[in-house]
Structure 1
Amino acid sequence: MAEGRMTDTERAEPHQQPAGLSIVSNTTDGICVLTLTGEIDHHTGGKLRQALDVPDRVRPRIVVDLGRVTFMDSSGINIFIAAHRATTEAGGWLRLAAPTASVMRTLQIVGVDTVIDCRQTLRHALSN
């Protein structure tokens, strides 16, 4: 039996699709709560940007629950900063809740935690 040689293409790992991002929106006491699950990156950023869009809201109050976010790159940072500016200009606020350790580290390294209110739990983010 002859042994075949594998080409580089055959050895390469199969192309993996991005993990994706799930966004569930609810309202609690007039506060829009976005619960995110998955990864925030350039593949999923458009979906997050759309969920955070506040063009017709007066004094929007938004809490983003990050407790199930496994990864966030600079795309997420830029989206959150833009959303923070938009909600503030509309007389409202944006809070980030329950970031995982890796997401919190990213927020701290860039200094976003000093600009956007980050709360340890969703319950704390929903309270005044």
Structure 2
Amino acid sequence: MESEKTYRPHPLEVVSTASDGIVVVTVSGAIDHASVGPLVQALDPGRLVGRPCVIVDMRHVSFMDSSGINTFLATHRDLTRAEGWLRLAGVPASVRRTLQRVGVDTVLPCYPGLDEALAA
């Protein structure tokens, strides 16, 4: 008898913190069409107070598809219109390659870690 296993990535966990006018959104797990909802909510400019400055800490992201890319591009557009900004920090190599292939790394600033993104 054959057994069938379904492998599901870890669910997406999104935690937002604010300090000195900068919102840090820490993301863990896989960002895909089925899991992107909490990330979209966390990055909603309507939920941000004042000048919307956001850093997404991605060091624990295991996978990202076009849903994540589209979310980041839309957020970048909305925050820029509101005179704010979006930065990505700690992007894992596999996710960074995806961003580079589609040219997103030329639009969104990517930093090696959270400290560098905060200092920029």
Same-fold status (TM-score > 0.5): yes
The gaps in structure 2 that reach 5 residues or longer are none
In the other structure, the counterpart of 2:55 is 63
Larger Rg: 1
Query: What's 1:72 paired with?
Result: 64
Structure 1 residue 28 displacement after superposition:
2.2
Question: Contact between 1:18 and 1:43, CA under 8 Å: does it hold in 2?
Answer: no
Cα deviation digits, residues 53-101 of structure 1 (max 9, x gap):
0125432000000000010011100000000001001110000001001
Does the 8 A contact of 2:9 with 2:29 survive in 1?
A: no
> Which position in structure 1 is the counterpart of 2:76?
84
Which whole-Å CA distance do the structure 2 matches of 1:17 and 1:69 have between them? 14
Task: State whether structure 2 residue 89 is matched by structure 1 residue 97.
Answer: yes
Taking the aligned partners of 1:14 and 1:70, their CA distance within structure 2 comes to: 20
Q: Where do 5+ consecutive residues of structure 1 fail to align?
A: 1-5
TM-score, reference length from structure 1: 0.86
TM-score, normalization by structure 2 = 0.92
Match of 1:112 in 2: 104
- Distance (whole Å) between structure 2 residues aligned to residue 47 and residue 100 of structure 1: 20
Q: How many residues align structurally?
A: 119
Q: What letter matches 1:105 in structure 2? A: R
